Chains A and B, each alone.
Chain A
Amino acid sequence: MSDSSLPSSPLNRSVDLTNCDREPIHTPGAVQNRGALIAIEISSGRVVAASANCEDVTGLSVADLLENPFRETLPVLGDIVTQAREMPEGKHADRRTVELPAGTRTVLAHHYGGRCLVEVLTAETESDVQASDLVGRLFVKMERQSLEEIYDCVVQTIQEFTGFDRVMLYQFLEDGHGCVIAEAKQDEQEAFLGLHYPASDIPAPARRLYELNRIRLIADVEAPTVDMVSAGGIEPVDMSFATLRAISPIHVEYLKNMGVRASMSISVMQGEKLWGLIACHHNQAKPVSPGMRDACELAGALLSTFLVSRMQQEQLQRKVEVNRAITENLSSMGQSNDVTGGLERSAGWLCSLFDACGMVWQSGSHNFFWGELPNQEAIRELHQALAVRPDQAIAFTDQISAWLPAAASYADRCAGMLAIRLGRREGGVFLFFRPPYSATITWGGDPSKSATREDGRLTPRKSFGAFQEKVEGKSRPWTQADREVAATLAAGMKTIFVEQAEQLRKAIDELRALNADLDAFAYAASHDLKEPLRGINHFAYLLEQAQNLTDENYVRGLQGVKRLTSRMEELLNGLLRFSRAGRAELRIEKFALAETVEQMQDVLFGGLPPEDVEISVESDGPVTGDFACVREILGNLASNAIKYNESEIKRVEIGMVPASETPLATVCEPASSVIYVNDNGIGIDPAFSTQIFEIFRRLHDRDAYGGGAGAGLTIVRRMVERHGGSIVAESTELGTTFYFTLGQKS
């Protein structure tokens, strides 16, 4: 079975393209005015496009550059172009300072899409900060802190280092929308911490560019952009990796609406995927020196690595904690036979585990409902809809109504659902529900306060309101972490069921043993009880035949009936004792063997052993089992030992030995202890060493050795087996030894 995302789960939704998403922001056809961009066709070495401000920045006009071999026009930049061409696509060659006709300039270069892009930056004040300063400062503070503390520390440090008014750590959540998780700001500024922003605020193409280009600076949103001038018939210049790329007018507007004049974004990556942004905002135009940008970019890269490893660590830790909590909760559940009851008691905890508002458990005819839920009819519909997807162990959606339209009626209470199915059928199904976003999330920006434009153009501020409406009826998405918790829960539950199956198997084995005993009962009832009955009938027949009260037939008949009636009673008692041996609940405890033997003698002899009997404890030890049962086992074995004994002094020795020294070495742990009862009796023919344990099986004539029902050893065997142990008899001319274990490691 596999995971499945039901319709409207973020994982299988096609990218939701908005106006912003469709905007070709990588080819804006313009650059920021803090530098000039020159695009060279690598194959020909000619300039194919240049920004209109080339003359101011470099001293050479677009006309001087366009369509001419670059090396001849600006030979001073030949080296960096050569170096850039040798770098992988998108990677920048070492930044350098060059003297151009217009003055001292910083030059960047990279190649992409068959073109080499040379960026010439107007003189920027180089700060004296070193990248290592920032990185060092950050890492000193990051040791031994929680992720939340590190987030705070990062934004604080970057704010101090760069001087931006506001630095935020913005995390992209699974459905693409984002949330401010840390913030360093000026006191008078409105707090954005904890606010959520719709995915469309940073559309997919922008996110892709953040993945490619790890630092982006807009030094002044008010500054005019400078158009590119291209040779005729060429494709627009792809500026995915260019630092001067002009910002989308929509984004500029967004920033203006927020009162932001300068902005810098540092990408925080989780592997190749954008995890978040360190977003720096400033109320004024803010040039950031290349050295400082390098430091920030490096900090971002190191942070990415550090955060990812820490996040993984914390996730792992949380996973371990969740797993432990699940295991502990479930194991206590597994110990009781009532899984449904146990789950119901854990419902609150389970829901908190999934951040769910309600849950349903259904397994066969057992079920329960907890918390905020759709009505019964709706739950039935969900179960039916899930039943046709039998291969999916975990299915989830953040918008049930996109999957089952009828769910719209309860989307205001339960918008998302995660289902866990245990096994293909009858294994049990969990449904966890999540409330709609609107109930749990604070969206950034209040539409009523928005400075919106009324020209119908989608503006950022307006999008909050639109998005709020759009997410109505949708829950927070089920994250990878949620699904892992679900998988853990499913595995834990399966373990419980396996354990229960094991218990069931044990119960079935017990039942089988009981059935075998019942068979023996039936046999005993028909044979051993009929035997005296037939005898009684025979003597009654003799009585009938008698002529008078002194007739021999009369006397024999009367005596026979009496004798057989008491025999019958004896057998019935044996049966009764036997049936009890199989029924009573065992109370397992630990006690000393000697204590049991002492009590056993009291029961057997009423406190006064016969003079010719000697019962001794040869080696004492701890016994784990049901005290009363063990007492009866020892009592039965001891009374047999005395009964089938022709010695002058009838000796019974009881003790414990390692299993390795007994015939039980093959059936139990050799190191475990085995109890033995040894006598100096008449012994048992080895041929009957197993038959002696069958009910009413006697080795001797009915009246020899004091008679008896022949139930004692059967009862002993039954009690030993109920403990999970085994019993064997070993006999020589000198006597018999019974060895038994109680199935526990003593």
Chain B
Amino acid sequence: MSEGIASLLVLEDNDEDFEVLSLACQRYGKPVRTLRFRRAEPLLELIERKTLAPPALAMLDLRLPGASGLSVLERLKKSPHYASVPAVVFTTSSSPSEIIQCYDASANAFHAKVIETETMIRMLVSVLTYWLSDVIHCPMTRRSRHE
């Protein structure tokens, strides 16, 4: 695992949305290594077995076929191994109950996807900038990344 390249965990089943995220990553300008999952189940298994290297940022969609993004968020935050990984929720709708559920599960941020592509790209760039460049991450996370 090389220093300097941020690793981004993405849980997103929608190809168009993922494509928009890729465009945002390009615009962000710094190298980002993206690990994408379309469904929650295989990711949950990696978390369970701790075979997933803790990423610099987890971006989770909530509504997926099968298990939901919320179950991944919960599993991440309950695991001492991954608890300090910033987990940001990206979802289409934002019902109050869902927002509460996510924050209760220790989500670091909750974002509603926007329809307008250009706006969406700008929002994603700011999120990437904030979490990958501006925020100082928990040393635990860094240490665990070196383990």
Expressed in whole angstroms, the Cα–Cα distance for A534 and B15 within the complex equals 11
Is the interface on chain A under 10, 10 to 19, 20 to 34, or 35 or more residues?
20 to 34
* A519 closest partner in B (C-beta): B95
Contacting pair A535 B65 (CB below 8 A): no
Contacting pair A534 B113 (CB below 8 A): yes
Contacting pair B66 A531 (CB below 8 A): no
Chain B residue contacts of A702, Cβ below 8 A: 13, 65
Contacting pair A531 B14 (CB below 8 A): yes
Contact with B along A678-721 (1 / 0, CB 8 A): 00000001011000000000111110000000000000000000
Among A292-300, A322-330, A335-343, A536-544, the stretch that binds chain B is A536-544
Is A560 engaged at the interface, CB distance under 8 Å to the other chain?
A: yes
Expressed in whole angstroms, the Cα–Cα distance for A346 and B98 within the complex equals 55
**A515 shortest CB reach to chain B, Å:** 14
Contacting pair B65 A526 (CB below 8 A): no
Contacting pair A699 B66 (CB below 8 A): yes
Known contacts: A538-B117, A539-B16. The answer to whether A699 contacts B65 by CB under 8 A is yes
Is B17 engaged at the interface, CB distance under 8 Å to the other chain?
A: yes
Expressed in whole angstroms, the Cα–Cα distance for A703 and B80 within the complex equals 36
Contacting pair A530 B113 (CB below 8 A): yes
Please report which residues of chain A, range 113-139, place their CB below 8 angstroms from some CB of chain B when the two chains form the complex. Answer: none
Please report which residues of chain B, range 30-67, place their CB below 8 angstroms from some CB of chain A when the two chains form the complex. Answer: 38-39, 63, 65-67
Contacting pair B120 A534 (CB below 8 A): yes
**B42 shortest CB reach to chain A, Å:** 13
Contact with A along B7-24 (1 / 0, CB 8 A): 000000110110110000
Is A527 engaged at the interface, CB distance under 8 Å to the other chain?
A: yes
**A712 shortest CB reach to chain B, Å:** 15
**A146 shortest CB reach to chain B, Å:** 72
Is A523 engaged at the interface, CB distance under 8 Å to the other chain?
A: yes
Expressed in whole angstroms, the Cα–Cα distance for A678 and B56 within the complex equals 47
Contacting pair A700 B65 (CB below 8 A): yes
For B116, give its contact among A522, A537, A560, A701 (CB under 8 Å): A537
* B39 closest partner in A (C-beta): A701
**B115 shortest CB reach to chain A, Å:** 5
Contacting pair B117 A526 (CB below 8 A): no
Is A572 engaged at the interface, CB distance under 8 Å to the other chain?
A: no
For B115, give its contact among A530, A698, A699 (CB under 8 Å): A530
**B10 shortest CB reach to chain A, Å:** 16
Is A533 engaged at the interface, CB distance under 8 Å to the other chain?
A: yes
* B121 closest partner in A (C-beta): A541
Expressed in whole angstroms, the Cα–Cα distance for A633 and B65 within the complex equals 23
Chain B residue contacts of A537, Cβ below 8 A: 115-117
Known contacts: A541-B117, A701-B13. The answer to whether A531 contacts B65 by CB under 8 A is no
* A525 closest partner in B (C-beta): B93
**B72 shortest CB reach to chain A, Å:** 14
Contacting pair A540 B65 (CB below 8 A): no
**A567 shortest CB reach to chain B, Å:** 11
Chain A residue contacts of B66, Cβ below 8 A: 685, 688, 699-700
Contacting pair A527 B16 (CB below 8 A): no
Contacting pair B115 A533 (CB below 8 A): yes
Expressed in whole angstroms, the Cα–Cα distance for A688 and B115 within the complex equals 30
For B92, give its contact among A531, A540, A564, A688 (CB under 8 Å): A531
Expressed in whole angstroms, the Cα–Cα distance for A698 and B68 within the complex equals 11
For B93, give its contact among A530, A560, A687, A688 (CB under 8 Å): A530
Is B91 engaged at the interface, CB distance under 8 Å to the other chain?
A: yes
For B16, give its contact among A519, A560, A699 (CB under 8 Å): A560
Please report which residues of chain A, range 527-565, place their CB below 8 angstroms from some CB of chain B when the two chains form the complex. Answer: 527-528, 530-531, 533-535, 537-541, 560, 564
Expressed in whole angstroms, the Cα–Cα distance for A685 and B66 within the complex equals 9
Majority DSSP secondary structure for residues of A touching B: helix
Chain A residue contacts of B19, Cβ below 8 A: 538
**A570 shortest CB reach to chain B, Å:** 16
Chain B residue contacts of A541, Cβ below 8 A: 117-118
Contacting pair A701 B120 (CB below 8 A): no
* A710 closest partner in B (C-beta): B65
Please report which residues of chain A, range 273-297, place their CB below 8 angstroms from some CB of chain B when the two chains form the complex. Answer: none
For A523, give its contact among B93, B113, B114 (CB under 8 Å): B93
Chain A residue contacts of B13, Cβ below 8 A: 701-702
Chain B residue contacts of A527, Cβ below 8 A: 63, 91-93
**B116 shortest CB reach to chain A, Å:** 6
Chain B residue contacts of A699, Cβ below 8 A: 65-66
Chain B residue contacts of A526, Cβ below 8 A: 92-95
Contacting pair B65 A534 (CB below 8 A): no
Chain A residue contacts of B92, Cβ below 8 A: 526-528, 530-531, 534
For B38, give its contact among A528, A539, A685, A701 (CB under 8 Å): A701
Chain A residue contacts of B67, Cβ below 8 A: 687
Contacting pair A698 B65 (CB below 8 A): yes
* A533 closest partner in B (C-beta): B115
* A526 closest partner in B (C-beta): B93
**A694 shortest CB reach to chain B, Å:** 10
Chain A residue contacts of B63, Cβ below 8 A: 527-528
Expressed in whole angstroms, the Cα–Cα distance for A698 and B66 within the complex equals 7
Expressed in whole angstroms, the Cα–Cα distance for A560 and B63 within the complex equals 21
**A591 shortest CB reach to chain B, Å:** 37
* A696 closest partner in B (C-beta): B63
Chain A residue contacts of B65, Cβ below 8 A: 698-702
Chain B residue contacts of A522, Cβ below 8 A: 93, 95
Expressed in whole angstroms, the Cα–Cα distance for A746 and B122 within the complex equals 61
For A538, give its contact among B20, B91, B94 (CB under 8 Å): B20
Expressed in whole angstroms, the Cα–Cα distance for A537 and B120 within the complex equals 10
Contacting pair B115 A540 (CB below 8 A): no
Expressed in whole angstroms, the Cα–Cα distance for A522 and B98 within the complex equals 13
* B118 closest partner in A (C-beta): A541
Chain B residue contacts of A687, Cβ below 8 A: 67
Please report which residues of chain A, range 159-190, place their CB below 8 angstroms from some CB of chain B when the two chains form the complex. Answer: none
Known contacts: A527-B63, A687-B67, A698-B65. The answer to whether A538 contacts B38 by CB under 8 A is no
**B110 shortest CB reach to chain A, Å:** 14
**B20 shortest CB reach to chain A, Å:** 6
**A170 shortest CB reach to chain B, Å:** 80
Chain B residue contacts of A688, Cβ below 8 A: 66
Expressed in whole angstroms, the Cα–Cα distance for A528 and B67 within the complex equals 17
* B91 closest partner in A (C-beta): A527
**B17 shortest CB reach to chain A, Å:** 7
Interface centre among B16, B17, B39, B63 (most CB of A within 10 A): B16
Expressed in whole angstroms, the Cα–Cα distance for A523 and B96 within the complex equals 11
Contact with B along A558-582 (1 / 0, CB 8 A): 0010001000000000000000000
Chain B residue contacts of A701, Cβ below 8 A: 13, 38-39, 65
Please report which residues of chain B, range 120-137, place their CB below 8 angstroms from some CB of chain A when the two chains form the complex. Answer: 120
Contact with B along A494-534 (1 / 0, CB 8 A): 00000000000000000000000001001100111011011
On A, residues with C-beta under 8 Å from B are 519, 522-523, 526-528, 530-531, 533-535, 537-541, 560, 564, 685, 687-688, 698-702
Extra contacts besides A535-B17, A699-B65, A701-B65 (18): CB < 8 Å: A522-B95, A523-B93, A526-B94, A526-B95, A527-B91, A528-B63, A528-B92, A534-B120, A537-B115, A537-B116, A538-B19, A538-B20, A538-B117, A541-B118, A560-B16, A564-B16, A685-B66, A702-B65
A-B contact pairs, 22 of them (CB 8 A): A519-B95, A526-B93, A526-B95, A527-B93, A528-B63, A528-B92, A531-B14, A534-B92, A534-B113, A534-B114, A534-B117, A537-B115, A538-B19, A538-B20, A538-B117, A540-B117, A541-B117, A541-B118, A685-B66, A698-B65, A699-B66, A701-B65
What are the 9 tightest A-B residue pairs by CB atom distance, in nearest-first order?
A526-B93, A541-B117, A535-B16, A527-B93, A527-B92, A538-B16, A698-B65, A530-B92, A538-B117
